[in-house]
Amino acid sequence: MKIATWNVNSLNVRLEQVIEWLNKYKPDVLALQELKQEQNKFPVNEFEKINYHAAWFGQKTYNGVALIAKNEMTDIKYGITDFDDEQRRVISATYNNIRFICVYCVNGEAVGSEKFIYKQKWFDALNKHIIYEKNKYGNCVILGDFNIAPADIDVYDPQKWQGKILCSDIERECFNNILTLGFFDGIRELAPQEQLFTWWDYRMNGFKRNLGMRIDHILLTPQLMSRANKFGIDTNARAAERPSDHAPVWIECD
């Protein structure tokens, strides 16, 4: 089984790239973030044409998440359990007896800002949602854009970014709190010492200069982690014409 995630930064702009990527890599499940589409504008027919099913939670201009799968998904849930939030950032569904939780986590803007305080509250609510989903469904995968670089190895210049947004101790604690619920950081487990990036800023020739961060993650429960044997970060997609600032990330499990 191949599991993938990709912040596409506007599905309107990058639908053709997503379809091409699905045809080439053929993942069982692909999680998408930053659709930037209203719910009724999602191009479900384009995915059906290539024999994929879709569940999506759209929002005009901002946010939006989706799960794309080879077979039909069940028990689709929109948003976070018991958290009233107008921002559409989470969708959950069951596929092949595995619960998938696609997340587009809050950026936070700057440490200490109002948006940063919201980010902390949002992660507290996400933790409760994960606990509920894991208790109910067992095997879970949490995947998406977390807007957190978990460790210095995940940042091109740790000193420059020390204590700043995406890299602060508070945010890294939020990430680790999820792991303590019974999850492994799949990519880091498969490549413990390798510096890997999934996002490069559009500015300052960030991609060409490899000024990146690893902020897109696939978290696996122990049973799934024991079956994981291969991963990839598709930098070719980031190098394409009019790319997202994120690259697709994938893991294969036996």
Query: Where in the sequence numbering do the catalytic residues fall?
Result: 104, 145
Q: Work out the burial of residue 53: count CB atoms within 10 Å of its CB; fewer than 13 is exposed, 13-18 middle, 19 or more buried.
A: middle
Q: Are 43 and 65 in contact (CB under 8 A)?
A: no
Q: Which of these, 193, 206, 204, 194, lies nearest to 246 by C-alpha position?
A: 206
The pairing of strands 2-7 and 98-104 is: unpaired
Amino acid occupying residue 42: F
Classify residue 84 as left (phi > 0), alpha (psi -120 to 50) or beta. beta
Task: Provide the strand spans (E) within the chain.
Answer: 2-7, 29-33, 53-57, 65-69, 74-78, 90-95, 98-104, 140-145, 184-185, 199-200, 212-213, 216-220, 228-233, 249-253
Bridge partners (DSSP) of residue 188 are: none
Who's near 225: CB < 8 A, 6+ residues apart? 184, 186, 189
CA–CA distance, 186 with 217 (Å, rounded to integer): 8
Distance between CA atoms of residues 85 and 205, nearest Å: 35
Q: In degrees rounded to 5, what are phi and psi of residue 146? A: -90, -15
